[in-house]
Amino acid sequence: MTMSVAEINQLVVKLKQKYSEYSEKNPTWFNRQAFEERLLMAVRNRMNMEAFILAEVSNFEKVRERYEKKKGEKPFAQQVDRIIEEMTARIMKYPEIRFHPKAGMEISRFYGAISLFALDYFPVLYIIAVEKPQKDRLVAFEAEMAPL
């Protein structure tokens, strides 16, 4: 099933149109001049034009798919902003204790989390710890933290 000269010419025209259309979006990915040079070389070297055009169409589609995929990806800055927002939302669940005017939000929330642990959760550990070595470690830890 070979293609006629008219069909080949029609595909060449369509490829030129597609290269023109996409080169406006991104000339480095879709270089129409490079396609024209490859086409001229194929004609000069009397290559099988059907195979050449099919290879060019296949190549163009692969490049277009990669371009669309890359274009669809979110820019790095947006990903960073999203991550920062998620981490900030996680930090906000802890109480804020302002202990210094220059302390940032993260440090104030961290201090609040440590205070929450020390006042609310640490005493519960004495109830949970049933074995003597565990209780001894808790007492030693509390003794180390007391001077601070």
Q: Dump pLDDT digits (tens) for 2-43.
A: 778 888 889 889 999 998 898 888 888 888 888 899 999 988
Q: Could you report the per-residue pLDDT of 105-142, keeping only the tens digit for each?
A: 999 999 999 999 988 988 888 888 889 999 999 899 88
b/e map 73-101, b = 16+ CB within 10 Å: eeeeeeeeeeeeeeeeeebeebeebeeee
Single-letter residue type at 39: L
CB contact at 8 A, 26 and 67? yes
Instruction: Please give the angle made by the CA atoms of 134, 135 and 140, to the nearest 5 degrees.
Output: 100
DSSP code per residue over 89-146: HHHTTSPP---STT--HHHHHHHHHHHHIIIIIHHHHHHH--SHHHHHHHHHHHHHHT
| pTM of this prediction exceeds 0.95 | no
Count how many Cα atoms sit within 13 Å of the Cα of residue 112 in the half-sphere of its side chain.
16
Q: Could you report the per-residue pLDDT of 53-85, keeping only the tens digit for each?
A: 889 999 999 999 998 888 777 778 888 889 999
CB contact at 8 A, 15 and 35? yes
